[in-house]
Chain A
Amino acid sequence: MKSLYAKIAVLALLAVFPLFVGSDYYRHLVIIALMWVVIGASWNLLAGYTGQVSFGHAIFFGVGAYTAGLCTTQLGISAWWGMLLGGPAAMLVGILIGFICFRLRGAYFALATIAIAEILRLIAIVWRDFTEGMQGILIIQTFRSKVPYYYLALGIAVICMLLIYKIIKSKWGFYFIAIREDQDAAEALGISTFRYKSLSLMVSSFFTGLAGAFYMNYMGFIDPEVVFSLHFISIMAILVSIIGGAGTMWGPSVGAFIMVMLQELFRSSFFGYAPSWVSHAHAMAFGVLVILVIRFMANGVVGDWSKITNLWSKGKPAALVTNGN
């Protein structure tokens, strides 16, 4: 119960945040963090819960973003249609990838995701007539204020988290975790591992695509290097989940805020307090962070928290959270 109040309090805080903080800069940071909550939770559903590690979630983010952008440049309709189409488009790609890879055991899925992200990036660069190539897609944002985007991002994040929460507590959640733990055992229990891996990927790719479509509408600009980036989308999605706690319900949300904050600290040279070369080192910092997190915090803030202290009851490893809580 206590943890439920905590969640309501955090939600309430987020809901009133823009009313008290007028700075566009801070509003922007929280909007981006909320977007990463969605992507992190999506990646976590697939990798943390289902055990299918994707190294290419930029695929779905990019497809969602380009779907929104192309609505305007190719179809001449509002990029907001992308919010409707981006998720399904990304999901379609997800279904295809799942169909190819999930029949095979082993590292194939992880490898295929890297390769497909790379193919899509190259296509987006080369197919200029369709995608505008390296120039990217520029649209005019609908709102000048950050507030509508803020509440949209919050809404998407809340819906995404609620849905994933429901999934994890249901038959699907049990099946996903069973697949992560032992695929042979799972099959013997009547679980079509192919089907449930695909379902997990579908949900995951849908929300990541939705986040991509949101990004297009919010930022008003995308290019292939940004939305199909291995480091700053695919690896970032992994880091967000791991630093927060892969395979935990709320870990990725925590991780999203931590990662966005860390990234911003470096990008802004610690808000100008550090020498300016620090801002050039943010890629380096990112790499060092990957190493440190994997080495010392493999189960993340939420996952390892309970190992050290016992204060945070919801920090139990994923499987143990499924009953009760």
Chain B
Amino acid sequence: MEMFIQTLVAGILIGGVYALIGIGMTLIMGVMRIINLAHGQLMMVAMYITFVLYQFLNIDPYFALLVAPPALFLIGAAIQRYLLNPLIKIESIIPENQVLMTVGIGIVLTETIRFMFSSDYKSVKTSYSTATFNIGAISWNVPMVVAFILAVVLTASLFFFLLKTDVGKSVRATAQNKDAAMIMGINAEWITQLTYGLGAAMAAAGGTLLLPIYYLFPDVGGPFTLKAFIITILGGLGSAVGAIMGGLVLGVAESLGATYISMALKDAIGMVIFLLVLVFLPGGLKQLTKV
């Protein structure tokens, strides 16, 4: 029983960070109607930025939260503007060419990082990386708890932004109906850039929060791209609230799977959930709750 609760706790904590990353992709999905297959790779770039700040300038990873996400915001917005947006005007047989473009971007990001840092594993070992505290019989990993709390704070501020600010409302309007939004005078092109930038920044924040606990290598992005899209599907393609639940479900399922089934199959569990959702609940979790 204790082991079960311990596993559950670990799953929820990591799930909070997953949710943060997943919301980024969900935002992009909502506004651009594409799956961003460079999502994990953008996160990976942010992790390297954080790593460099720590390694060479001795900046604490949590401070890097002030650097890496803004940097990725700019990179993301530039990618949207110069690589993705021009595709809208190209008439091609394959409608998914934006998605395919993100695959190319993902490869280039990964290979650029490999070129600069080699394929070696890196890590940021802070003084608190392995620190834990106990509540009852359950032990809590400090950086995980901090990551979870910060993820919740960031998610909450994103919601505040989307629900309460004018720009945020424009983002939601564009996601609901692009044409109508444009008629209402919203500059959809600008909103789309902003959204992709924001999506990348959310992924960056997630990556930065994970860094004290994770190993870092150029190929770390791929699996996270897959996680993010599983979350997006779980949440029901474009629902931010759904994505939070999706992130938590994925975190818990992976955690339980790793403990009770097999560590090696941990990554497959998300995929299996994805297929189950596809078969039994194609509208995603939001279908259950109507939010």
Interface residue SS majority, chain B = helix
Residue B237 CB within 8 A of the other chain = yes
| A110 CA / B271 CA spacing, docked (Å) | 14
Q: A49 CB to closest chain B CB, in angstroms? A: 9
- Other-chain residue from B86, B94, B107, B278 in contact with A295 (beta carbon distance below 8 A): B86
Indicate the member of A101, A112, A114 with the most B CB atoms within 10 Å.
A114
Indicate the member of B86, B107, B114, B272 with the most A CB atoms within 10 Å.
B107
Known contacts A107-B35, A246-B93, A295-B83; A118 and B100 CB within 8 A of each other: no
Contact between A246 and B226 (Cβ–Cβ < 8 Å)?
no
Residue B131 CB within 8 A of the other chain = no
- Chain A contacts for B97, CB-based, 8 A: 294, 298
Residue A15 CB within 8 A of the other chain = no
Contact between B112 and A284 (Cβ–Cβ < 8 Å)?
yes
| A123 CA / B112 CA spacing, docked (Å) | 30
- Chain B contacts for A55, CB-based, 8 A: 37, 99, 103
Q: How many residues of A contact B (CB 8 A)?
A: 47
- Chain A contacts for B110, CB-based, 8 A: 283, 287
Given pairs A116-B271, A290-B107, A294-B87, 15 additional interface contacts (CB within 8 A): A48-B94, A53-B96, A53-B99, A55-B37, A55-B99, A100-B279, A108-B282, A112-B275, A122-B264, A231-B107, A281-B111, A290-B103, A291-B105, A294-B100, A298-B97
| A104 CA / B282 CA spacing, docked (Å) | 8
| A281 CA / B229 CA spacing, docked (Å) | 28
Contact between B111 and A123 (Cβ–Cβ < 8 Å)?
no
- Other-chain residue from A47, A48, A118, A125 in contact with B226 (beta carbon distance below 8 A): A118
Contact between A238 and B100 (Cβ–Cβ < 8 Å)?
yes
Contact between B267 and A284 (Cβ–Cβ < 8 Å)?
no
- Bitwise, B155-168 to A at CB < 8 A (1) or not (0) is 00000000000000
Contact between A288 and B104 (Cβ–Cβ < 8 Å)?
yes
Q: B164 CB to closest chain A CB, in angstroms? A: 30
Chain B residues 269-290 with CB under 8 Å of chain A are 271-272, 274-275, 278-279, 282
| A318 CA / B92 CA spacing, docked (Å) | 11
Known contacts A126-B265, A287-B108; A119 and B94 CB within 8 A of each other: no
Residue A208 CB within 8 A of the other chain = no
Residue A212 CB within 8 A of the other chain = no
Residue B209 CB within 8 A of the other chain = no
| A250 CA / B264 CA spacing, docked (Å) | 43
Contact between A298 and B103 (Cβ–Cβ < 8 Å)?
no
Contact between A318 and B271 (Cβ–Cβ < 8 Å)?
no
Chain A residues 27-81 with CB under 8 Å of chain B are 47-48, 51, 53, 55
Q: A119 CB to closest chain B CB, in angstroms? A: 4
- Chain B contacts for A317, CB-based, 8 A: 93
Residue A299 CB within 8 A of the other chain = yes
Query: What are 12 A-B contacts with C-beta separation under 8 Å?
Result: A47-B94, A51-B95, A55-B103, A101-B278, A104-B282, A107-B35, A115-B226, A119-B272, A122-B267, A231-B107, A284-B115, A291-B83
